[in-house]
Amino acid sequence: MIDYHFNKEKGCPLKLFTPGPIQVPDRVLEALARPNDTHRSEAYEEMHQIAVEGLKKLLYTENECFIMTCSATGIMEACVRNLLDKDEKGLFFSIGAFGDRWYNVGLDNGKNAIKSSVEWGMALKPEFVKEILSKDKYSVVFLQSNETSTGVYNPIYEIVPIIKDYGALVCVDATSSMAGVKIEVDKLEIDVCLASVQKCLALPPGLAVCSVSEKALEKTKTVKNRGHYFDFLTYLKKNKSHQTPNTPSIPQIRGLIVQLDYILKEEGLEKRFERHERLGKRTRMWARDMALEMFSERNYESNTVSTMKNTLQIECAEMVQKLLLKGYRITNGYGPLANKTFRIGHMGEIQLKDLEEMLKVLTDIIADLRLEKLNQNK
C-alpha cells in the first residue's frame, strides 16, 4: 500500500504547508477510524446536532447550518441553483481563480451570471463595489473572503454591508478562511457562508459546510429548478430532525465534532484567529528578509495562505521537489501563476515553531538553487 504522507529520505511523515488539503491531526484520524451507526440512527442524530451547534458557534450565527457530503464547489453550485432565479442577475466578484470558478458555475447552470473582476493580486475595495452595484440590479452577489490563488483577503467587513444596502443576498466562499479568520455571519448578515473542511478545519477532504440565512431560505422557496442533491429545502427539512437528506460521510462528521470541540473548547476561537495572524505575519516577514515580494496587495494579505512573487527567478517546481525530500510540501503558484508565484499554506493546526522549522529548510534550499544558477551562468 502506498503511504502518501511518508517522506522516504527521512522516514518521517510529510508535513503539509499547503492551502488544502492540509495536515490532519491524530485526534481526527482516530475519530475517523471509529465504528459508526447508520445515518438514520439516534446516535447519528446526536452527532449531527453537536456538529451543527459547533458550526453555529464557529460562525457566530443563529442561522441554519448544513453539512453536505461534497467539496466546497458543491455548495457554490447549491448557492447558484437555490438562490438565483431565471429572470434575475447574479453578480460574481472575482479577484482570482476561485472567483472565476464561481462565475463559471453560474454560467454552467444557465444562470444570468455577470462577472466583475479586479487584477489578480488586488482586493475588492468599497468604492469599486459601490460603483458596480450602482449600475444594475443584482439579486445575489457572490464573493470570496480569502482568494486562495492570490493570497488576498477581501475586506468583507467593509464590503458586505454595502452589498446588503443594495438589497442583494450575499454568498461568501470562506473555503480557505473559515476557522482560521473571524467571520461573524449574523453581524454581517451573510446569507450563505460556506467552506470545505480540508482547509482551516484540518479534516480530510470530502465534506463541506455552510450557514444559510432565513432570508435565503425564504428566497429558495420561490426559485424553480433547484436540482435534487443540493436543494436547500430538503436540507432544511432534514436538519430539523438532525439528519441529512442522503447518506452523509459519517466518519468525517465525527471528525468535524472532534475538531470543533478542540477549536471551541481547547484552543479557543480568538486564540486560533490570533495564531493564524501570527503565522501570516511571520511568513511575510520571512518573504521580506528573502527579498521575495508578496503577490498580494499590501494590507490585504491573507493570514492563511501566502502567495509570493518569484522575484528570485527560482525554478518553483524544483524548489517544491527539493523541499519535499526534506519532508515538507509547499505549493507552486495556482494555474497561470505557476512559477511566477509560489504559495505557503499556514492554516489548520500549524504552530509557529512548525513554520519556523520549515522556513529554515526552505531558506537553505533557495540558497542552494541560487548558487547552482550562479555557477551555471559562469
> DSSP states of 211-272 as a string?
EE-HHHHHHHTT-S---STT-HHHHHHHHHTT--SS---HHHHHHHHHHHHIIIIII-HHHH
Number of residues that bind ligand PLP (CB under 6 A): 11
Centre a 10 Å sphere on the Cβ of residue 86 and count the other Cβ atoms it contains. Answer: 10
Least distance CB 20 / ligand PLP (angstroms): 5
52 versus 347: smaller Cβ distance to ligand PLP: 347
Q: Does 148 bind ligand PLP (CB under 6 A)?
A: yes
Q: Does 252 bind ligand PLP (CB under 6 A)?
A: no
Q: Does 306 bind ligand PLP (CB under 6 A)?
A: no
195 versus 314: smaller Cβ distance to ligand PLP: 195
Q: Does 20 bind ligand PLP (CB under 6 A)?
A: yes
The helix/strand count (H/E) of the chain reads as 13, 16
Q: Does 234 bind ligand PLP (CB under 6 A)?
A: no
Q: What is the 3-state secondary structure (H, E, C) of 298-321?
A: CCCECCCEEEEECCCCCCHHHHHH
72 versus 337: smaller Cβ distance to ligand PLP: 72
Residue of 7, 36, 49, 73 interacting with ligand PLP (CB under 6 A): 73
Residue of 72, 188, 355, 369 interacting with ligand PLP (CB under 6 A): 72
Q: Does 82 bind ligand PLP (CB under 6 A)?
A: no
Question: Distance of CA 232 to CAs 248, 356, 376, Å?
Answer: 15, 43, 59
72 versus 365: smaller Cβ distance to ligand PLP: 72
DSSP 3-state of 88: coil
Centre a 10 Å sphere on the Cβ of residue 97 and count the other Cβ atoms it contains. Answer: 17
Q: Does 283 bind ligand PLP (CB under 6 A)?
A: no
Total count of residues recorded for the chain: 378
196 versus 303: smaller Cβ distance to ligand PLP: 196
Residue of 69, 82, 144, 220 interacting with ligand PLP (CB under 6 A): 144
Question: Distance of CA 90 to CAs 143, 169, 228, 232, 312, Å?
Answer: 11, 10, 21, 18, 41
Q: Does 173 bind ligand PLP (CB under 6 A)?
A: yes
Could you list the residues that contact ligand PLP (CB under 6 A)? 20, 71-73, 98, 144, 148, 173, 175-176, 196
